[in-house]
Amino acid sequence: MKTIPTYTFDHDLPPASRWDALPQRLRDAGRLLAGRAFKELTSASPLASSGVALLRLATKWRNPYRDEITGATRVLGISTDQAMATNFLYELGALGMYGQTLWGRLIARFRPWIHACTSGAVCGARLGMVHVRSLDWPLRGLGRHTLVIHHINVPAGDFYSVGWPGYSGVLSGFKPGKFSATINQAFCLQTPNLNWPPAHLLRTAFEECASCADAL
């Protein structure tokens, strides 16, 4: 098994500069994933394609991580639309499935593009509590280019998240000795909230909460 790289994400830096220390090989990986995410999402669903444009506007005016995303766009050398696709992969995937209330209809239409997750927690005799999660998404290269992001100089304490180069959200994260959390893909039966994406809400919880009780 290959070693998963770790990137130090310094919250003391200006938001637009937090990806500046990304090595070239990780910039290349992030650019590859962003291109694939945009192509696959927009070809899979007209709703997801429209969502890219909506997110471009929402992120510009309202998203608290907009400057980070702008910085990632520059560092990776990608378009704004590609930056939206790679940073809102979870939300755009949910938007693409919006309204597909019948499982058979959904699976028939989106089978190649369905996002899913496998997760679990167990208390081991020697390791203590263990929280595991697999991001079972069909985006080629996502597993190969997984990145552990070490968030430092955070108000409520440093934490780790698992993502990919240029991704500002948190789908899987843990704060050593405190708590861990993951977001699993859910079938979307109502309009997703693009102003406050779940992955950014979870990141805010890690930034502002020092304990599991605080996060809840």
- Residue 207's nearest CA partner among 160, 157, 149 is 157
- Alpha-carbon distance of 121 to 176, in angstroms, equals 16
Residue 174 DSSP label: E
Per-residue pLDDT in tens (0 to 9) along the chain, 216 residues: 578 999 999 999 999 999 999 999 999 999 999 999 888 777 765 555 555 555 555 555 567 898 999 999 999 999 988 898 888 887 776 665 554 444 455 545 555 545 556 777 778 777 777 777 776 666 788 888 999 999 999 999 999 999 999 999 999 999 998 999 998 766 555 555 556 788 899 999 999 999 999 988
- Alpha-carbon distance of 101 to 104, in angstroms, equals 9
User: What is the β-pairing status of strands 147-152 and 6-10?
Assistant: parallel
